[in-house]
Chain A
Amino acid sequence: MSTCEQIQKILTVHEQDRTEQEREILQAHLATCPLCAHEEKVYNGLDSLLAATMKKEVSAAGIPPLIPPQSSLTQPNINARQATTWLAIAASVIFVIGAAGSAYMIGNTRAELRHLRTQLLQSQNRCAKLESLVASKDKELTALAKHIANGPVRRVSYNIFTSNKEADQSLKTAASLWGYHIRQLKGERHDFDQF
């Protein structure tokens, strides 16, 4: 059985801070002791008075009552942040791949360009040789034309064929052979120019 002195000590402890054991002891004692039951009422009254006084003091000072805020703090959108990070990483990867691809393509184009330049140089050399050949043949043709014009060939032809007609025919044949040869040379040059 608890004494009133022990109960007085428990009564000073705020209701929220009492242990389960203290509550049981208190309940059992208060049922049998009117003095301690009265003391409990005094403490309960004190609690109510303190709470009411403090709340009234605030409202009496003209401070508006507490209104719960409309907005509430929600879990921060971590996924959005992660998505942004992943997006940045993906963009970086795409950029790196793109840059590497571009570098590879540029390298290929450069190699192709070098090859074409080499081909061009070879073709230019060949062109120069052909031009010099054409020039020498042109000179030969001019010289031959002069020679024909001067008549020795005609005379030789006349001597061989003993008739003007045959001499003329042989001259035409010779001229056409030269002409064919020159056309062939010129055609080769034309093909080269086209290339």
Chain B
Amino acid sequence: MREDNNIFQEALKADPQTALSWLYSTFSSRVYRAAFLYLHSTVDAEDICHEVFTTAMENAYAYRGEAGPYTWLYSILRNKVGKLLAQRKTARQHQQAVARKLSETRLLDNTPEDLACETETRTAVQQAVSMLPDDMQALVHMRYFEEFTGDQMASVLGITHARVRSRLSEARALLRSIMISKEIQP
């Protein structure tokens, strides 16, 4: 991983255009998916994705190779998402938007019973995650969707590995109690 970071860092110095082009073609869809998971909106995710790569291009000179290219992009994404969510007036507005977008999700080729059950479970899990504090939500996304290691998560959030372990542990305990209260069987 460290070697990849160095290759990207050297490529940035030698030929920034090619390196940034590679960065976009390699990670744009991944960043877009991660953005969607936070914002639950394809339009917002596209905007944020664009902003993430614009910021990355503007700050390419500051890349030191301490984190992997995607971890670096993800930390930019986290900042952008945090600012956007802070701009939203109330948490209620955000939850309404989540509920609206969830109702618009595409139907899968399952039986109506399966579909209803699955959609219900998914909605309940998403609501449970959205009830967590902001940093815990980020940790859950990074661990379960991005499959980041503890070091990568620590790098994105700018905290220690021990703090990551502690906060993720609290998030898991909270999610378990929320799901039990909602009678969702994990």
Contacts and interface: CB of A to CB of B under 8 A. Distances in A.
To the question of whether A and B form a pair in one complex, the answer is yes
Interface of A: 9, 12-14, 16-17, 42-43, 45-51, 53-58, 60-64, 66-67, 69, 71-78, 81
Contact of A53 (B32, B125, B143): B125
Contacts of B168: 13-14, 17
B83 interface: no
Interface stretch (B6-14, B54-62, B71-79): B6-14
Interface string B118-156: 100110011001000000000011011100011000000
Nearest to A45: B186
B121 to A, nearest CB: 7
A63 B42 contact: yes
Interface string B83-108: 00000000000000000010001101
A13 B169 contact: yes
Contact of A78 (B10, B106, B179): B10
B64 interface: no
A42 B14 contact: no
A12 B172 contact: yes
A42 B39 CA distance: 28
A61 B143 contact: no
Given A46-B186, A50-B175, A64 B29 contact: yes
Given A17-B164, A77-B14, A66 B33 contact: yes
A12 B32 contact: no
A47 B29 CA distance: 24
Contact of A71 (B22, B149, B170, B175): B22
Interface of B: 4, 7-8, 10-11, 13-15, 19, 22, 25-26, 29-30, 32-33, 36-37, 40, 42, 101, 105-106, 108, 118, 121-122, 125-126, 129, 140-141, 143-145, 149-150, 164-165, 168-170, 172-173, 175-176, 179, 184-186
Contact of A60 (B15, B33, B108, B143): B108
A14 B11 contact: no
Nearest to A8: B173
B51 to A, nearest CB: 18
A76 B37 contact: no
Contacts of A71: 22, 25-26
Nearest to A50: B144
Contacts of A13: 165, 168-169, 172
Q: Which 7 A-B pairs have the closest CB atoms?
A: A45-B186, A76-B14, A46-B186, A60-B105, A54-B145, A53-B125, A17-B165
B105 A61 contact: yes
B14 A81 contact: yes
A61 B170 contact: no
15 contacts: A12-B176, A17-B169, A45-B185, A46-B175, A49-B121, A49-B186, A54-B141, A54-B144, A58-B36, A60-B105, A66-B29, A66-B30, A69-B25, A73-B7, A76-B11
A50 B14 contact: no
A61 B106 contact: yes
A55 B141 CA distance: 10
Nearest to A9: B169
A152 B185 CA distance: 162
B83 to A, nearest CB: 22
Contacts of A78: 10, 14
A71 B126 CA distance: 35
